[in-house]
Amino acid sequence: MPGSPTRWDSPQPIRYPDPDVVVLDERFRPMVLGNAAIRRIATGFAFTEGPVWFGDGRFLLFSDIPNDRILRWDETTGGISVFREPSHYANGNTRDRQGRLLTCEHDTQRLTRTAYDGAVVTLAERFEGRKLTGPNDVVVKSDGTIWFSDNGAGTRGNYLGHAALQELPFRVYRLDPRSNSMTVAVGDMARPNGLCFSPDESRLYVVDTPYGQPRYTRVYDVVENGTRVVNGRTFFDGDGWADGIRCDTAGNVWCGFSGGEGQDGVAVFAPDGTLIGRILLPERCANVCFGGRKRNRLFMAASQSVYALYVEAQGAAGG
């Protein structure tokens, strides 16, 4: 009944196993802990995105895009504080292989790196002399190269950035910070969004979220010593759609997912593209990351809230 109390409004504990962690294929069952429940760890935001874990400090950073800030959740106290404000309407975040924060900024239409002393350095804002449309999500390979999607989400209106003319096609770029060279990695998608590598980096998964068209997830083979991708093909194409994605160490793909009641939350796919499990949330989920002391805690940035769940899986490096 609309307006009736839900588990998220109640102070009562959830009976184990959590009924909102749904096994659809037996391959998902070993990842589900029978004595761990989904927790809403923070709420009251406008639109959360870009969760990234800092194990050395035991905290999570995440973006609250319309409020133009990056927030910090402390694992030891559960407290929330402002990490950066203004954030230039930051969206996706990750860490490079040296532990520095990488951020996709909508309003400045650039990719930045935060140095150890807090100084912010611009890594990319133009390609072939033209302004990027607004970096969205970002991952890092073991060779130190940075791969990020540029899809105009922050420049189609003022809620997530500012209205601006599109100067470049929507693409995924590969940036080598050692040589400061940037190339087009994926140029055959309508509007690339979330992305991640398989644990062995032989595959690149990219979500396509075009406006007003069917949305699906593709997978590419990584070739030429990890510098190019080829053979793009459909990985998932069905009801609902993914946004931010991350791989675990076994190669399963964990997707922030939207699709309405019974689908909103996280969808988990096996390496062969089979949907094997769901983590149901009362809100659409934009992005995920693994964290915690053993990298076995899934953090979910979902619309107005952030959720967490311990699982028997560990996140792959680079996301």
Q: Is 143 annotated as a binding residue?
A: no
Q: Is 193 annotated as a binding residue?
A: yes
Measured distance CA(266)–CA(21) in Å, rounded: 9
Q: Is 252 annotated as a binding residue?
A: no
The 3 state secondary structure assigned to the chain is CCCCCCCCCCCCCCCCCCCCEEECCCCCHHHCCCCCCCEEEEECCCCEEEEEEECCCCEEEEEEHHHCEEEEEECCCCCEEEEECCCCCEEEEEECCCCCEEEEECCCCEEEEECCCCCEEEEECEECCEECCCEEEEEECCCCCEEEEECCCCCCCCCCCCCCCCCCCCEEEEEECCCCEEEEEECCCCCEEEEEECCCCCEEEEEECCCCCCCEEEEEEEECCCCEEEEEEEEECCCCEEEEEEEECCCCEEEEEECCCCCCEEEEECCCCCEEEEEECCCCCCEEEEECCCCCEEEEEECCEEEEEECCCCECCCC
Measured distance CA(268)–CA(49) in Å, rounded: 18
- Given the residues 18, 243, 248, 264, the one annotated as active site: 243
Q: Is 136 annotated as a binding residue?
A: yes
Measured distance CA(198)–CA(229) in Å, rounded: 13
Q: Which residues contact 104 (CB under 8 A, 6 or more apart)?
A: 50, 90, 91, 92, 93, 111, 134, 135, 136, 137, 138, 148
Is 248 labeled as catalytic in the residue annotation? no
Q: Is residue 236 a contact partner of residue 220, using CB atoms and an 8 Å limit?
A: no
| Residue labelled with tokens 């140095």 | 115
| Residue numbering of the annotated binding site for substrate | 136
Which residues have a catalytic role annotated? 243
| Residue numbering of the annotated binding site | 49, 136, 193, 243
| Residue numbering of the annotated binding site for a divalent metal cation | 49, 193, 243
